[in-house]
Amino acid sequence: MIASARWLPGRTAAASLSAIKRELLLEPAGYLAGALSAGVATALALAVAPHAALAHVMVIYLLGAVLVATRYGVAVSTFTIVTSALCFDYFNIPPIFAFAVPDPHSAATLGGMLLTAAVMCSLLQRLRYQRTLARASEARTLWLCELSLDLSAVASIEALLRAARPHLVRLFGATACVFVRNEAGEIALPGMHREQHACAQRALRTARFQVTETDAGTLACQPITSRRQTLGLVCLTLGAAAVEQHEQRVLLAACADRIAVAIDRLALADAARRAHVEAEAERLRNELLSAMSHDLRTPLASILTAGTTLLGSGAPADHVRRELLATIVEETERLDRLVTNLMSVTRLESGRVRLNKAPEALDELTYGVLSRLAGRLAGREVVVDAPDGLPFVAMDSVLVDQVLVNLIENVLRYTPAGSPLAIRVRVGDGEAKLEVADSGPGIPVEEREKVFEKFYRGNLAKRNDGGSGLGLAICRAVARAHGGHIRIGARAGGGAVIEFVLPAYDSPPREAAGSVQQRELQA
């Protein structure tokens, strides 16, 4: 039945209608409905015949024929009209219950009935034909919208090719291939025979639709163009009748246009990403030059001044010489830390660093760092809270050592002289945790994420304090490289707590036991 017919992939509207009409000729239910309609109309006509004119009776038969025509095709409608006319003649036109040549008036009535029924059925069939065309157009529009939506969500050329092919197969019911330019600017055509390859090359060269006959069927090639540039090619293997249909060519061109828009969008997105990366690199380069020019100039000036004084005329006093040499050593160490931090953050964020993991004792590493920084921690109370016999942790000890140094230097730089420092070490539940707590002013909530950015220094930072804004950026990069994390919180009673966490699965045990032991380091 036409009412249940749908647009079929790979068929034009005319082909679909032809198939529908062929199916209607073989519908037994339609002929049964036509016969039933004529019988019901006859029964009603006989019932109202004593009280109605002949024209009124004819309307009953016409109504039955029209109702059948709204449901079934031309063949069934014609059968219903003829059957109704014969019943009208046999049961209603004198002489009744006989097929005889009626009088001129009755013949005119019968002829008018046949003509009216035929015209109405013809109009109904044309309306249904237009409805089928509208449904076909609606289906094509819907599928084109689905194609556009899927192509708008792809993020690469490979994903675009995977998304486009099923839609082309559904729209045309044919074998579909999509070829696009590669990075070298060429459009490769793999898997094509000589005739197919020649047709595809001709389409690419002329940038126009091309078709050729092959052993596999009719090959249709539609170039994908944008701004007078050929971006690729859509190839379909269709039936010869489908290729001849203008609407099929228009539909194929529309699909190629959607693919071209998606390719242009990917190209623009890629260009935008490259521009963003270049702009970000230029920004970081400018920030690096600005920060390094200042941070390097200060220790170099101190070293130069001290060295010039030592080389000047007249030997300075011993205590002056020792102070100058101490300045040179201190500023040289500062330069070394600055260069080390710079190299570390560059290596870590480039993704080229390779971790040298080995089982290490996190508490012993902490004591080693505190011993090296004992001179700078003079006057501060340092409390280390670590249980005895902590399991070993698989980590890159050099990088974790640098993390702890940077965290302690932040405390020295941003907290008042003589304020206490507390370090807590724990290993368990699949993670190793190192907490560094101070009694300084703390870090505002709105800056707790920003301080991990390169070259960012908080509002509490002082000028000429030796900081470069790289320490916490390195800490976060080391934590991420190990698969851990770092975060900042507030310390009860004032100050900040920085928590550095590393994964510690299957940590080797260490032979030692006992309760938590607190050690105090006093200058």
Contact 235, 256 (CB under 8 A): no
User: pLDDT digit string (tens) for 281-299?
Assistant: 777 666 656 655 556 666 7
Domain 358-521 CATH class label: alpha beta
Global pTM? 0.47
Topology of the domain covering 153-270: Beta-Lactamase (3.30.450)
Report the C-alpha dihedral over residues 383, 384, 386, 389, rounded to 10 degrees: -120
User: pLDDT digit string (tens) for 412-443?
Assistant: 888 888 889 999 999 888 899 999 999 888 88
Question: In which residue ranges of the chain is pLDDT below 70?
Answer: 1-27, 100-103, 105-107, 109-110, 239-244, 284-298, 312-316, 337, 341-353, 458-468, 506-523
Nearest to 263 by CA among 234, 226, 236, 235: 226
Nearest to 249 by CA among 214, 216, 213, 209: 209
**Measured distance CA(397)–CA(418) in Å, rounded:** 29
What sign does the dihedral 98-101-107-112 (CA atoms) show?
Answer: positive
Contact 202, 233 (CB under 8 A): no
CA distances from 81 to 53, 66, 398 (A): 20, 9, 98
The per-residue pLDDT for 435 is 93
- Domain chopping of the chain, boundaries: 2-144, 153-270, 358-521
CATH fold match for the domains 153-270 and 358-521: no
Nearest to 253 by CA among 229, 227, 225: 225
The per-residue pLDDT for 153 is 87
**Measured distance CA(293)–CA(272) in Å, rounded:** 31
**Measured distance CA(68)–CA(81) in Å, rounded:** 9
Contact 37, 84 (CB under 8 A): yes
The radius of gyration of the chain's CA atoms, rounded to the nearest angstrom, is 45
Nearest to 64 by CA among 43, 82, 83, 41: 41
The per-residue pLDDT for 404 is 92
The per-residue pLDDT for 449 is 87
Which phi and psi angles does 20 have, rounded to 5°? -65, -45
Instruction: Return the SS3 of 521.
Output: strand
The per-residue pLDDT for 481 is 85
The per-residue pLDDT for 287 is 64
User: pLDDT digit string (tens) for 182-230?
Assistant: 877 788 888 788 888 888 888 888 888 888 887 777 888 889 988 778 8
User: What six digits make up the tokens of 276?
Assistant: 């963003």
| Helix H or strand E encompassing 226 | strand 217-226
